[in-house]
Structure 1
């Protein structure tokens, strides 16, 4: 559970990470707070899910087995453009160089969080993106 009680009731999240423990942890924690979570192990699996699941927020690892999170987000943005919507996105990465953070923002991620994940920071980032989306 998160330190501060945050309700994500009704929120739809897509979590993309090839690490089983990370996927399970994020899925369980957000579901306990009321979110609907679908998890994917790769960019290609995530893209298949996006075709039928409209996520309110995408949470994606940068280092994925088939293609990286940058490529995934570019494809998501292309689909969003076709559908007339925007999917806010959070990058998760073990990479800690300034260049890595810069690349994530250039790819279109609104937030960049380092691994190991601070769950309270992630909850805050999701909440901020949802609030921004509501006022967009």
Structure 2
């Protein structure tokens, strides 16, 4: 079981992610915006992060850059889950340090498989 950080400002999507990942056997810690995501990351041993790009206070890209530049869990697998579907958006996400980039609407099965695979990677 992995601890997964879920950060999305849409409460419906956040809830769907929380429930689905919990049913897949993961512990979920969640945040409604980028700043809260950084606070949650600082408090918990997070194994994987699922971040929306467009969030208030700090974007998902800001969160990734902060995580990657820190000492605490800096190398955790991170997937961006976003409505921004332009190839340039994907390039920016990966350049910021994301391990993968999924666009909304997304397949919950694919996301869970991604989390499972990356949670198992040391």
Describe the SS at the equivalent of 2:43. coil
Q: Tell me if structure 2 keeps the 8 A contact 1:111–1:125.
A: no
Q: Say whether 1:126 aligns with 2:118.
A: no
Q: Say whether 1:71 aligns with 2:62.
A: yes
Describe the SS at the equivalent of 1:77. helix
Q: Unpaired runs of 5+ in structure 2?
A: none
Q: Tell me if structure 1 keeps the 8 A contact 2:79–2:100.
A: yes
| Shift, 1:127, TM fit | 2.3
Aligned length, in residue pairs? 122
Q: Unpaired runs of 5+ in structure 1?
A: 1-9
Pairwise CA RMSD: 1.3
Q: Say whether 1:30 aligns with 2:21.
A: yes
Question: Over residues 101-129 of structure 1, what are the superposed CA-to-partner deviations in whole Å (9 max), with x where a residue is unaligned?
Answer: 11111011011000012101101221232
Larger Rg: 1
TM-score under structure 1 length normalisation: 0.84
Q: Say whether 1:112 aligns with 2:101.
A: yes
